[in-house]
Amino acid sequence: MKNKIKTLFLIIVFSTVFSCSGDKQEDIIILDSRTLEDVNEDFKNLDIQPGINDVSLESLVAGVYWNFRIIVPSDASETNKRPLVMALHGASGGSTTAHQTTGCYIEPGLEALNAFIISPNAGTEQWYSISNQIQVINLLTLAKSNFNIDDSKVLVTGYSNGGNASWLYADFFPQYFTAAIAMASSYNPRRADGSISKINIPLYVIHSNADELFPIGITEGFVNDSRGAGSDIEFVIADGLSHYAPCDYVSYLQDAVTWLQNQIWI
């Protein structure tokens, strides 16, 4: 691992942070009780090996842990820096193993990237909660600071709740990512003041015409609204797939990787 670490959040103040609906606001101040050096040192001391690693890391708040899976390519090196993927699971409600479901569609769908993959656990909150924003951005920063990662190839992706979050992080944190892939999602790009936000990184949206939870017409409307604001969005319709069968999205995710490699990361 590299010894140098970029700046993390020691005191984080988020005001007027919007939810996925675009009209909820939170005014929250979160203070950490651990130092930057504490968190980085603990991260460096994790026993992370090539392949799948399920680990727990004490966060910036003492006694609060980030539970996540990190998949490490076997051939990453200074001369072979690999992409980094932040993979956000679907659903919410506090499943302690939600971050360990990468074998369903993330691993086979992203196989061609041979990337570092971080799959965090959202706990009992939605991905757009302040605590999860802190977790996602800090895990991303820790990985980029300690592993052989190509900073020009950083992807956020997810399904359902994680798909909504992929839009969110592309919208509010484009400085950390170079592309986003959202599956089975429904993200309203309209701000509280009525304006439509422009997504400043390329976004690939996959949605089924048979989605029972998020009707395709609504998602396609959000895509068109965002395109009208200048966003670069590819919209792909998955034929006949249930919202509750994410593993069936593998071939569509593989197509998205082809788009990423041939059109975006070139």
pLDDT digit string, tens, across residues 216-236: 999 999 999 999 999 999 999
- What DSSP letter does each residue of 124-186 carry, written as one string? TS-TTSHHHHHHHHHHHHHHHHHS-EEEEEEEEEEETHHHHHHHHHHHH-GGG-SEEEEES--
In this model, does residue 19 exceed pLDDT 80?
Answer: no
In the chain, the percentage of residues whose pLDDT exceeds 90 is: 83
Q: Give me the number of domains the chain comprises.
A: 1
Supply the pLDDT for residue 42: 97
According to the model, what pLDDT value does residue 51 have? Answer: 98
What is the domain range of residue 67?
11-264
Give the type of residue at 22.
Answer: G
Asked if residue 49 has pLDDT above 50, the reply is yes
Question: In this structure, is residue 111 part of a structural domain?
Answer: yes
Residue 31 in this model has a pLDDT that exceeds 60: no
Q: Does a structural domain hold residue 4?
A: no
Mean of the per-residue pLDDT values for the chain?
A: 89
What confidence tens digit (pLDDT) does each residue in 176-207 have? 999 999 999 999 999 999 999 999 999 999 99
Condensed to tens digits (0 to 9), the pLDDT of residues 130-154 reads 999 999 999 999 999 999 999 999 9
For residue 66, give the H/E element and its range: strand 65-72
Classify residue 221: in a domain, yes or no.
yes
Structure tokens at 110: 């992203």
Domain contains 109: yes
Task: State mean pLDDT over 68-89.
Answer: 98
Tell me whether strands 25-31 and 11-18 are parallel, antiparallel or unpaired: antiparallel
Structural domain includes residue 5: no
Does 2 fall in a domain?
no
In a domain, 254, yes or no: yes
* 3-state helix vs strand vs coil in the chain, percent to 5: 30, 30, 40
Single pTM value for the model: 0.89
Task: Please report whether residue 159 resides in a domain.
Answer: yes
**Domain of residue 141, CATH code:** 3.40.50.1820
Pairing assessment for the beta strands 116-120 and 82-88 based on DSSP bridges: parallel
Percentage of residues of the chain with pLDDT beyond 70: 88
pLDDT exceeds cutoff 70 at 6:
no
